[in-house]
Amino acid sequence: MTQSALRADEQDGLHVAIIMDGNGRWARERGRRRESGHREGAKAVRRVVEASPDLGIDVLTLYAFSSDNWQRPQREVQLLMKLFRRYLKSEIAELKAEGVRLQVIGRRDRLAPDLVRLIEESEEATQICRRLSLRLAVDYSSRDLLVSAVRAAAARTDLDRASLSLLLGQAMHTEEPAPDVDLLIRTGGEKRLSDFLLWECAYAELVFTDRMWPDFQGDALAQAISEYSSRNRRFGRVAEAS
């Protein structure tokens, strides 16, 4: 068994990760521009964050912008950055009041300096909050992180599998370590991971829904958790009572 203080089966609350997909299609289906889908998507983030603590979620990691998303038209990228800024400015007081700790994971060196400052201020303001840990993945690429983690570990030929595994796991997080993912949800109908939390999802339960992200509500999250609860997680062992 991998020796890690952060194994998913040893956690109290759940780590839920969401690939928030389908904003563009949601808008197109309504004859609107993709941008309007992203605006609605930001509202869905609020709803899901609000619903999470009562559903037993301790850690919520949301995929907001992948490193590959830089390849989108500049106008769309700018709007996404603007919405991200707006979210931080408008939500931080509320998050703090609700006991939500915000952390942003991913590269920061390609973000605008004022956005980086805002991220740092938001993280600092909510640092002591403990009710929910909200991690927003921005300019995030699991493969990039794996490559840098392997580079960091390459010199440590003295380590056994368990210690190396722990070291890699730590190096995969741009900030603090987080538990493995228990439940990964992807909205929008696609059934792929798109370079998200590849390491942390080793034993995650996967739930794919056709619902587009702007239509995602607390009830859909509750439904996904109920589906998760009905699954039998074995971590390579045999099922209990079998």
Which residues are the active-site residues? Answer: 21, 69
Residue 193 CB contacts under 8 Å (≥ 6 apart), including other chains? 19, 142, 184, 186, 201
- Distance (Å, whole) CA 28 – CA 105: 30
- Give the Cα separation of 233 and 49 in Å (integer): 25
Residue 175 token pair: 């900030």
C-alpha 155/C-alpha 47 separation (Å) is 45
Tell me which residue has its CB nearest to ligand IPE. 24
Of 16-24, 65-73, 112-120, 141-149: span binding Mg ion (CB under 5 A): 16-24
> Does position 180 bind ligand IPE by CB under 6 A?
no
Question: What is the rounded CA–CA span in Å between residue 50 and residue 218?
Answer: 8
190 binds ligand IPE (CB under 6 A): yes
Give the range of 19-27, 39-47, 100-108, 196-204 binding Mg ion by CB under 5 A. Answer: 19-27
Give 71's contacts (C-beta < 8 A, 6+ positions apart): none
65 binds, among Mg ion, ligand IPE, none (CB under 5 to 8 A by kind): ligand IPE
Element (H, E) at 104: strand 100-105
Is residue 139 within 8 Å of residue 106, measured between CB atoms? yes
Rule CB under 5 A: choose which of 21, 58, 91, 139 binds Mg ion. Answer: 21
173 lies in the binding site for ligand IPE (CB under 6 A): no
Partner whose binding site includes residue 64, from ligand IPE, Mg ion, none (CB under 5 to 8 Å by kind): ligand IPE
Q: Residue 209 binds which one of Mg ion, ligand IPE, none, with CB within 5 to 8 A depending on kind?
A: none
Q: How far is the CB of 35 from ligand IPE (least distance, A)?
A: 10
Which residues within the stretch 168-197 sit at the binding site for Mg ion (CB under 5 A)? none
Q: Site residues (CB under 5 A) for Mg ion?
A: 21
